[in-house]
């Protein structure tokens, strides 16, 4: 089968699945339990003092502060690396404090 025919077959299959299972993709994408990148902090958050959800450092939200949304709440970070780590496993960061994570890591290395 040529690449073009394979692509068409895959596209048609996906379209058929989407029509058979309406709303499944939307319910997942619209779920508040999925962490997503915050393109820009809302104007109401700019200037507010907060704590980095990853490392616990105090920071002031600026228009370019890296952020993420999870469970309808905005979280802010010192840099994109910390935000990206949060996106992979948000529960790890909101269920513990940065100090307790650092303590656990120190104990694990002893």
Q: pLDDT tens digits, residue range 54-88?
A: 999 999 999 999 999 999 999 999 999 999 999 99
* Same-domain pairing of 27 and 37: no
Rounded to an integer, what distance in angstroms lies between the CA atom of residue 34 and that of residue 69?
8
Rounded to an integer, what distance in angstroms lies between the CA atom of residue 74 and that of residue 92?
16
Rounded to an integer, what distance in angstroms lies between the CA atom of residue 21 and that of residue 36?
24
* Same-domain pairing of 9 and 40: no
> Token pair of 29, please?
């994408």
Rounded to an integer, what distance in angstroms lies between the CA atom of residue 75 and that of residue 86?
9
Count how many domains the chain has.
2
| Model pLDDT, residue 48 | 97
Rounded to an integer, what distance in angstroms lies between the CA atom of residue 59 and that of residue 92?
21
* Same-domain pairing of 54 and 83: yes
Summary mean pLDDT of the chain: 78
């Amino acid at each position: 089968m040529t690449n073009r025919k394979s692509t068409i077959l895959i596209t048609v299959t996906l379209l058929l699945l989407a029509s058979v299972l309406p709303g499944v993709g939307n319910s997942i994408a619209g779920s508040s339990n999925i962490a997503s990148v915050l393109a820009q902090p809302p104007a109401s958050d700019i200037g507010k003092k907060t704590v980095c959800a990853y490392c616990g450092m105090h920071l002031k939200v600026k228009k370019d502060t890296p952020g993420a949304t999870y469970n309808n709440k905005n979280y802010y970070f010192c840099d994109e690396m910390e935000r990206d780590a949060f996106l992979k496993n948000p529960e790890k960061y909101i269920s513990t404090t940065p100090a307790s994570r650092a303590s656990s890591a120190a104990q694990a290395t002893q």
